[in-house]
Amino acid sequence: MALKSSRRIVLGLVLVGSLLGASVARAGTIKLFLKDGTYQLVSSYEVQGDRMRYYSVERSQWEEVPKSLVDFEATRKAQEQEKASQQKELEEARKIATERFDKPENLGYEVAPGIRLPQEEGVYSVDGLRVIRLLQSSAEVVTDKKRAALVLALPGPLVKSRSLVVLPGAKAAIRLPQTLPIFYVQSAEGLGAKLELIRVKPGKEARLVEKVEVRGGIGKPAELRTAVPLERTQLAPGLHKLKPTQPLEPGEYALGELVQQKLNLELWDFGIGETPGK
């Protein structure tokens, strides 16, 4: 980030320097007006008695004319106008350089006065003072041993086999202080349109996300989980705002992506209430 900023500053200085150099070059050229309305482009001039001696820019040599033929007032006004014009151009050049090279980086979508999301993709929440990035945790599928034993003892269509989707640990590391949190999902793949908020059941060593049941080992698996309704708003391309329709009870939760109504095992888990270990 510092390297990019330095590069912008250098480029800005180059631009201003180029325009300043052009102004200096022009400042070395003077319009020496004569009383007949014509003028000579000169780099310098001097009065010697009744003669005006000047160095012609066009012919690159010293020349002389009678002093009485020179319109000194018109020459002075032309120099003042040229100086004012150069100053205006220099100020505009500095303004352009500031806009092009010193313009602050886009710090992301502003979710509250003075609070902006990072530019990176991810799932975020805001606690009123800062942005909190939710961490992704990997769930795993484990077998309900008691139900598996029952299936083996009494095979048949009325007996369901069951697996459990669990997250390791009794509580999520990320804790949110609000009971009505707002989530911001940045994703070029439109993840915000596919996330579901799930109430997770805590245990001693793991948290239960959902149960997967198959009757008699045949048919499509049924995924049983406790979903919490969400209000979903698209704020910008690739950015969604998610908000529970009612305050969340203290406990464990996770945001999970649904792919053809199947839950992706990579979840963004969090808790409402006390911190882990308390």
Q: Using alpha carbons, list the distances in angstroms from residue 233 to 86, 126, 192, 230, 241.
A: 52, 16, 9, 10, 5
Distance (Å, rounded) from C-alpha 87 to C-alpha 66? 33
Q: Where are the chain's structural domains?
A: 2-101, 110-272
pLDDT of residue 216: 54
Residue type, 81: Q
Residue type, 148: A
Question: Going residue by residue through the chain (278 aa), what tens digit of pLDDT does each one get?
Answer: 344 444 444 444 554 455 445 444 445 688 889 999 899 998 888 999 999 999 988 898 999 999 999 999 998 998 898 888 888 888 887 777 666 555 455 578 998 888 999 989 999 999 878 899 999 999 998 876 554 444 444 455 544 567 889 999 999 999 999 999 999 999 999 999 999 999 999 988 899 999 887 665 555 778 889 999 999 999 999 999 999 999 999 999 999 999 888 899 999 999 998 765 55
pLDDT of residue 112: 86
Q: Using alpha carbons, list the distances in angstroms from residue 263 to 36, 124, 158, 245, 259.
A: 90, 20, 25, 21, 6
Those residues whose C-beta lies under 8 Å from the C-beta of residue 77, and which sit 6 or more positions away, are none
pLDDT of residue 22: 47
Pick the CATH number of 2-101 from 3.90.1150.10, 2.30.30.100, 2.60.120.10, 2.40.30.10: 2.30.30.100
Gyration radius of the chain over CA positions: 38
- In the block, residue with structure tokens 């369901």: 160
Q: Using alpha carbons, list the distances in angstroms from residue 36 to 68, 70, 71, 191.
A: 11, 9, 9, 77
Question: What token pair was written down for 223?
Answer: 């995924």
